[in-house]
Amino acid sequence: MHEHVTEKAIEASIPASGTKPCKLAQGRWIVEVRRAVEQLDYGEVVVSVHQGRVVQVQKTTKVRF
16 domain residue, yes or no:
yes
How many Å apart are CA 42 and CA 36, to the nearest integer? 11
1 domain residue, yes or no:
no
Region 10-33 average pLDDT: 63
Give how far Cα 5 sits from Cα of 19, 57, 61, 64, Å: 25, 15, 18, 23
- Kindly report the length of the chain: 65
Region 29-57 average pLDDT: 92
Region 31-55 average pLDDT: 92
28 domain residue, yes or no:
yes
How many Å apart are CA 64 and CA 29, to the nearest integer? 28
38 domain residue, yes or no:
yes
**Over the range 7-17, which residues count as b (16 or more CB within 10 Å of their CB) and which as e?**
eeeeeeeeeee
29 domain residue, yes or no:
yes
Indicate the pTM of the whole model: 0.58
46 domain residue, yes or no:
yes
- The residue range of the domain holding 54 is 7-61
**How many structural domains does the chain have?**
1
